Amino acid sequence: MSALFTPIKVGPFTMQHRIVMAPLSRLRSDVGGMPTDLAVEYYSQRASEGGLLVTEGVYMAEGGNGYLGVPGISDDGQIAGWKKITAAVHAKGGLIFAQLWHVGRVSHSDHQPDGGAPVAPSAVPYEGVAFTKDGWIPSTPARALETGEIEALIVAYRKATERAVAAGFDGVEVHSANGYLLDQFLQDGSNKRSDAYGGSLENRSRFLLEAVEAAASVIGMDRVGVRISPSGEFGGMADSDPQALFTHVAQQLDKLNLAYLHLIEPRVFGNETNESKDQKIPVAAQLIRKHYKGLIIAAGGFTPESAAQIIEAGDADLVAFGRHFISNPDLPARIRAKAQLAAYNRDTFYGGQEAGYTDYPFLGANAKAA
């Protein structure tokens, strides 16, 4: 496991190991998108000396949420809750980036201002679900954004980054993966526009690049990460030529001196591992590494062994763990000790209170009763 435990610079920061906590929706926030004191404990448990945590997706604009219980950073009133979390992580010597998220069409009128329709690049039918007070129900049909509304959302990315700085975050990650708004603009299965944000690869990439520039105008490009999911199908995504699309995206992002580029391997669908793809090589990282020379974080179904292998191969520089970090709050210590990893309980991933959230045990003397 030695490849996982060598220091590395991430933007202006030095990490002491290569193990990252992936962004993980847990749906446990209070009304109004306020993170709770329980979330303070959750993130503090998973902070390690010199390690990086990426928050769960945080909606960055009004109407950007699609799931009851998701925290926000769309309003100044949410800053206080995040300050407690960043302070707790920093007290452990950890780093924490806020993942800025807009779900686009993956939403419901219950989550929209005045009960309106969710927004998307185009009014393409989507058969997915949103999570509301009535549980998991079909998403409300989306409407196409006007060009001026896109410009307003770019401003919202800047303002959300300002709030992240005020809350003490070390950086932000722009979420452009998993079938959410920025990914919907990238892929031509969901983007049928004919304006400056549709059609060519350059146009479909424009919103993502302008959102990144907006965030960087506040915090600096070396404290901005981007997450993409090349060839990912989650969220009803499809593109006529994904290799050309994500090659173009990687080439454009390579020019920016980002903190990192975060890649989701297509062998994971939602929170389920696709067994037919599980044994295949990490195709996203191999493709993107040819076109992106900065730091790459790989995510998606990795074990400690396969994480070390991809770093040794040079296709990624760090590896993000999701499900294993849920059930192993001290995951870096467990991997270093070559200890057995605790099993996760999928039934407690979303919603609830302490169970499956803050009650997983630690190793040895730090053990906490489950």
Question: What are the CB-based long-range contacts (under 8 Å, 24+) for 82-85?
Answer: 82/35, 82/163, 82/164, 82/167, 82/168, 82/169, 83/167, 83/168, 84/35, 84/37, 84/40, 85/35, 85/39, 85/40, 85/43, 85/44, 85/55
* Residue 180 known to be catalytic: yes
Dist CA 11 CA 224 (whole Å): 8
247, two tokens: 């090659």
**Which entry of 42, 43, 157, 180 is annotated as an active-site residue?**
180
Task: Specify the 3-state DSSP secondary structure of 102.
Answer: coil
- On whether the CB atoms of residues 73 and 98 are closer than 8 A, the answer is yes
Task: Specify the 3-state DSSP secondary structure of 46.
Answer: helix
Catalytic residue list:
180
